[in-house]
Chains A and B, each alone.
Chain A
């Protein structure tokens, strides 16, 4: 189970939105309100969308690497 998970790889970080400010880097902290469960969900959703997008690329005959 663990080796399969390692093989599938990990989402290291998901940064929501893009920084609208031209002087410093802003991070959305709204997720702090939801606690740990929200962060796990964020990783899951970010990972799923990324796998889907990368999978489509491979299906189309191109590899990102």
Chain B
């Protein structure tokens, strides 16, 4: 039985999908594109009350099923990026066949997942993405795509219109892009961006921010603006796959961490860009002096791996997030079982200082646990990039 209930569209908008939750309900709209989380009273449902008659405080960080799933559908790639988080190789392991990916999508739809984000090594045929995107649409989910754009032609770009959004990876202007990737490819990436822009209305750019391209972030964003793109997602470099070996020389410096949010928001303001930051930047956003209640209402979330999102890699392994699929013995069929990602979902219960006394704990959730585990050897340690954590350690 499907967990999602189709609801009527708002005026002039696309249809919405409604889902019951332990805290109330979520409603995902296609236009305007947003996910709204509401409490029990909002949807007129009788709610649980504590013996004292108060409302039960059910944290809305724990929905009944993920809002989105990240699917890495192929592990083969001939680009050889030095920091590839899936360690993609030209002769990488065999990936799930498309028929099994269709089963994965059906399972996700049955659970009530709203969005799927597809990605893969660049040897994966674009046609495979398109096939799976149509299947996701048929099942009522919105597919998005992130790609480096290899092999993109105008005719293929037209077919990518099945995706809600397509983001192209560019890690800087020419020299910075090369320093991050360890090889060229900026020009072909830019060409792919132009092709995409010509055929898709919602194209954006993804950029992994490292100490190698931090100073040139402004140049990249100005280029993006000139190309007519308004959406940019900035990602933190992660110690996963081949990135583990070079994390120490790619991770941003303490000064870069300290100035990151101001710099990015300043660029966004000047260039009128929509900037998205990935979940691992949450400790930095939480340090920007904005009230926790406001951050919560605007949907900011730190590590929501295993709750708001899950991932499935090319071998069918299920992970709380894309950077941690190898750490589990779970397969995609395990999704839906109770509490399989307890380390992630219950992290805040075991949070050490200074997280346990931090008013942003339920938002930030300790930052990126994959980074913390790499740097400290302890999954339950706070993310060392957090200014509050750094300050405590400095004494």
Is the pair B44, A65 in contact by a Cβ cutoff of 8 Å? Answer: yes
**What 0/1 pattern do residues 35 to 53 of A give for CB contact below 8 A with B?**
1100100110011011111
Residue of B nearest to A13 (CB): B37
Complex Cα distance A36/B297, Å? 10
Question: What A residues does B285 contact at CB under 8 A?
Answer: 29, 32
Partner of A20, one of B144, B277, B291, B304: B144
Question: What B residues does A24 contact at CB under 8 A?
Answer: 70, 235-236, 238, 278-280, 321-323
Complex Cα distance A31/B249, Å? 32
Is the pair B85, A10 in contact by a Cβ cutoff of 8 Å? Answer: no
Is the pair B70, A23 in contact by a Cβ cutoff of 8 Å? Answer: yes
Tell me the smallest distance from the CB of B100 to a CB of chain A, in Å. 18
Question: Does residue B366 face the partner (Cβ distance < 8 Å to A)?
Answer: no
Question: What B residues does A33 contact at CB under 8 A?
Answer: 265, 268-269
Question: What B residues does A39 contact at CB under 8 A?
Answer: 294, 297-298
Is the pair A26, B146 in contact by a Cβ cutoff of 8 Å? Answer: no
**A interface, size bucket:** 35 or more
Tell me the smallest distance from the CB of B26 to a CB of chain A, in Å. 9
* Known interface pairs A24-B322, A52-B10; A11-B45 also in contact (CB < 8 Å): no
Is the pair B146, A23 in contact by a Cβ cutoff of 8 Å? Answer: yes
Question: What A residues does B322 contact at CB under 8 A?
Answer: 22-24
Tell me the smallest distance from the CB of B319 to a CB of chain A, in Å. 11
Is the pair A54, B291 in contact by a Cβ cutoff of 8 Å? Answer: no
A-B contact pairs, 10 of them (CB 8 A): A10-B39, A12-B296, A17-B276, A20-B231, A21-B167, A22-B71, A25-B308, A27-B278, A56-B8, A65-B45
